[in-house]
Homo-oligomer: A and B are copies of this chain.
Amino acid sequence: MTDAQVAAIYDLVKFAPTAMNTQPLRILLVRAGEPRERLLKHMADGNRDKTANAPLVAVLAADTDFHDHLPRTFPHFPGARDAFADDAAREQAAKFNATLQIGYFLLGVRAAGLAAGPMGGFDAEGLDREFFEGRDLKSLLVVNLGKPAENAWFDRLPRLDHADVFV
């Protein structure tokens, strides 16, 4: 897994929509060695071994300072940056729109024929302190990336029926 592969996947999915083109998703790629060791400390026990062994790991985070880009990314509305002046509302918007982008990203990884193993089991605050000191980034998901191994899959679990989903 090269940085160029992940960048190409991002270029596939970056056109999918976010509110007011906010694009708050940020991606930290964690390779083997010292950075991976620092990451493992914050992973839940059940996720540690597979995170240690993944060819590449992406930490997907929301940038709560996304609004600084709006004068360039939403130029027809000069008030866009100030519309996000409230810290709590801005953090909520950052997390919601970054999570949409995580959905796009996971499909992009799989569309490229690669494996994406998303993990929610980690200490988000610890991870943010470890990697994002001094930046307003909030970790949302950690994803193992690589080529799928033979017999790497569990059986598919049941999906809900339409009657459960369409209300």
Contact A29:B166 (CB < 8 A) given known A73-B160, A74-B157, A120-B19: yes
- A: residues with CB less than 8 A from B are 3, 6-7, 10, 14-17, 19, 21, 23, 25-29, 61, 69, 72-75, 93, 96, 99-104, 106-107, 110, 116, 118, 120, 132, 135, 137, 140, 156-160, 162, 164-167
On whether the beta carbons of B106 and A100 are closer than 8 Å, the reply is: yes
Copies of the chain in the assembly? 2
Name which of A3, A75, A106, A157 has the most chain B CB atoms within 10 A of its CB: A157
On whether the beta carbons of B7 and A96 are closer than 8 Å, the reply is: no
Q: Which B residues are in CB contact (< 8 Å) with A103?
A: 16, 99-104, 107
The listed residue (B14, B26, B61, B165) touching A159 by CB distance below 8 A is B14
Please report the C-alpha to C-alpha distance between residue A65 and residue B106 in the assembled complex, in whole angstroms. 25
On whether the beta carbons of B73 and A17 are closer than 8 Å, the reply is: no
On whether the beta carbons of B26 and A165 are closer than 8 Å, the reply is: yes
